[in-house]
Amino acid sequence: MPIQLALVDDKPINRQTVKDKIAGYREIRLLLEARDGVDFITQLKASSVLPDVVLMDLEMPQMDGIRTIYEATALYPQIKFIVLTVFEDTDKIFDAIRAGASGYLLKEDSAVNIVDAITNVYEYNGIPMSPGIARKAMDILRQMPVHTHIEAEEKSTIDEPGLSDREMDILRELISGRNYKFIGEKLFISPLTVRKHVANIYKKLHVSSRAEIINLAHKKKWI
- More confident of the two residues 48 and 156: 48
pLDDT in tens, 90-118: 777 778 877 888 888 888 888 998 999 99
Domains and CATH numbers, the chain: 3-128 (3.40.50.2300), 136-220 (1.10.10.10)
Q: Tell me what percent of the residues of the chain surpass a pLDDT of 90.
A: 35
Q: With 60 as the cut, is the pLDDT of residue 69 above it? A: yes
Mean pLDDT along residues 74-96? 84
Rounded CA gap, 69 and 83, in Å?
Answer: 9
Task: Tell me which of 69-78, 98-107, 112-121, 159-168 is least confident.
Answer: 159-168
Contact 110, 42 (CB under 8 A): no
Q: What is the DSSP letter of 146?
A: P
- The pLDDT value given to residue 137: 63
- The pLDDT value given to residue 136: 67
pLDDT in tens, 120-130: 889 877 777 77
pTM listed for this prediction: 0.64
Quick one: CA torsion of 101, 107, 110, 113, rounded to 10 degrees?
A: -10
pLDDT in tens, 24-39: 899 999 999 999 999 9
Q: What is the DSSP letter of 6?
A: E
Of the candidates 46, 37, 33, 43, the one whose C-alpha atom is nearest the C-alpha of residue 6 is 33
Half-sphere exposure of 138 (CA within 13 A, CB side): 20
Q: With 90 as the cut, is the pLDDT of residue 174 above it? A: no
Most confident of the following: 21-35, 125-139, 197-211? 21-35
